[in-house]
A and B are shown apart, each in its own frame.
Chain A
Amino acid sequence: MVPGARTRIERGGRGGASLRRLAMSSLVILGVVTITFAVSRLVPSDPASLYAGARARPEQVERVREDLNLGAPVMSQYVSYLGELARGDLGVSFATKRPIAEDLRRFLPATLELALSATALAVLIGIPAGVMAADRAHRLRAVGIRLLAVTSVSMPVFWSALFLQLFVASKLEWLPLAGRIDPGTHFATPTGFFLIDSVLSGSPSNFLDVVSHLILPVLVMAAYPLGLTIRLVRSAMLEVLASDHIEAARVAQVPWRTVLWRLALKNALLPALTVLGLTFAYSVSSAFLVEALFAWPGLGKYFADAILRVDLPVISAAVLTVTVVYVSVNLVLDLLQIRLDPRVVLS
């Protein structure tokens, strides 16, 4: 490859670049909606009977077919689907007959609390660990960290959850087995984020209760993103460490610690920004496994229950919502990168 071919200034400067990303993201969201529509309405051999449930009578199936407008041409179904989404209408759950949008809003804070804590943990530990893994001066430590990273990306979350529950919660009784708070604990929940709510309640024991319930699920959830962060930061660091300015700094006898933690990390951190998006994505997608195991009353448990009942409207609505959130997170990170990086690197 020609040197410098990867780095080019986008036409129209930063404003143009930002606008282009914005347009791209809207296009991606349209694509995502289309795929979700295709998979949930067109793929099943008979969506109506799937929607109505296994034990539905033929006339019930017929009613569902009419309700869902499944007899109409595909294009008109698609257009009405888009219209419903635009109005914020995600449909009705077939198991509970409740509007899905309302349920999602109710369960979202619990999941966000979990996912954001896991993201924070993964990034705060993962970035320094990634730097150490790229440090050739401490070889043994680097190897140990890489081993930790590869273990944590190879471990099924539902398995590590199970054994943490067995040892830490059941055998040692250090932490609660499941749930968000003890059944006996009560406090007002204006935000839905129990960490904040318990602080607002003014009682330290409430806060401790919330934290002790958070630890295990967050640990389990953070494992995969942590391993991912370590690996990505390490490879970004290795790339930077091979560059000329690092060589120059070493020749100039700048202390190795300064080279590693200041000069190199500064340049490696920007590409690692994308890690944040990925971390969030992995936390959210493992949520439905983790929450089901820890009886965590969030989006993930709602989703897992829907999978068990093959409640297709709920599954597709939840997938769609989480994906749109993920695309938005990525867009924000992209825009941030355009602002922060003077080179406006496009790869």
Chain B
Amino acid sequence: MAARGRVRHFGCDAVRGGKRSAIQRWSGLLGTHGDAIWHYRRSRLGMVTAAVALTFVVGAVFAPWLTPFAAAGRGVPDLSNRLRPPGAIHWLGTDELGRDVLARLLFGARASLVVAVGVVALSVLVGVVVGALSGYFGRWIDEVLMRITDAFLAFPPLLLAVLVAASLGASLRNTVIAISVSWWPWYARQVRAQVLSLRTRPFIQAAQAIGAPSRRTIAVHIVPNVMAPVWVQATADIGAVVLTAAGLSFVGLGPRPPTADWGVMIADGRHYVLSGQWWIAGFAGLAVVVVAMAFNLIGDVMRDVADPRTRGQLR
């Protein structure tokens, strides 16, 4: 029913009447931003990019079952099939060791997903702890923690990660650590700013007044209330992390062979580009671009949704 679809857009139970949908109930978990998911669904761009992002995640998780060339994806060479162009059997061609490029891409998505989720999780963890302590206690604790944060933020992007990755040695785990080291300060800043405005709210003061220990106040009252924007930022950041990780592995600071990795595929494939075998580096790079772009756009739409001024213009 078209008319009902219209009303839905207001995302307001009073207008719609009736039962709340699953999404609406679930979105209540996001607190004051609960409406956001509702509005997000109105955005066509938002839905398309969410589908792309979902494809990336599904492809990564189910990689071994999605391709007949799972062995190639894990790195087993097939030297009789070297550098085949895209065709009926190998849809995206094969690489210099005869491995199916699509299979390598799917398995490479696993590396990207692991790095992205790992970095975001680690950074959110550290960032939330530092930001909450800093914002809640203020005074010298705030001063010390924020100066440390500033020092980490002072490094141009990528450089600190390169330094850490180079000292730790190249591996998937170290890539996660290296990028996280340069990523957490952004969350710390964001969380601190929110805690500062939250600290003066009555329910926090009430908790303090009845003598709740600080630990409990922070864990139960502060942190859950600052998480919504953090998750928005974290989602949007996944694309940027994938891009950064590709950069690291391109210069040889990523996972070691035979692990499939997009950055490594571009690095290895680039030697064949100028001689006409463009598909290895070409498709690997395309994968990075599409995933980075999808998450960037999701972030954009989420921000537009959160801002009532731009909410009306969504398409």
Contact = CB atoms under 8 A, between A and B. Distances in A.
Q: Which residue of B155, B281, B293 has the most chain A CB atoms within 10 A of its CB atom?
A: B155
B152 interface: yes
B45 to A, nearest CB: 10
A39 B167 CA distance: 7
Contact of B157 (A150, A163, A285): A285
B154 A323 contact: yes
Contacts of A136: 313
Interface stretch (B126-134, B220-228, B282-290): B282-290
Interface string B299-315: 01000000001100100
Q: How large is the interface on B (under 10, 10 to 19, 20 to 34, 35 or more residues)?
A: 35 or more
A40 B167 contact: yes
Interface in A290-347: 292-293, 304, 307-308, 310, 312, 315-316, 319, 322-323, 326-327, 330
A162 B251 CA distance: 14
B152 A154 contact: no
A35 B267 CA distance: 30
Given A43-B167, A238-B310, A285-B157, A32 B273 contact: no
Contact of A165 (B147, B166, B274, B285): B274
Contacts, number: 146
B166 A285 contact: no
B63 to A, nearest CB: 21
Contacts of B154: 28-29, 31-32, 323, 326-327, 330
Interface residues of A, number: 56
Contacts of A154: 239, 243, 288-289, 292-293, 296
Interface of A: 1, 24, 27-32, 34-36, 39-40, 43-44, 50, 136, 146, 150-151, 153-159, 162-163, 165-166, 170, 238, 242, 281-282, 284-286, 288-289, 292-293, 304, 307-308, 310, 312, 315-316, 319, 322-323, 326-327, 330
Given A150-B293, A304-B251, 17 more contacts: A27-B151, A28-B154, A31-B151, A50-B167, A150-B296, A150-B297, A156-B247, A156-B266, A158-B250, A158-B270, A163-B285, A166-B278, A285-B157, A285-B159, A288-B251, A292-B251, A323-B156
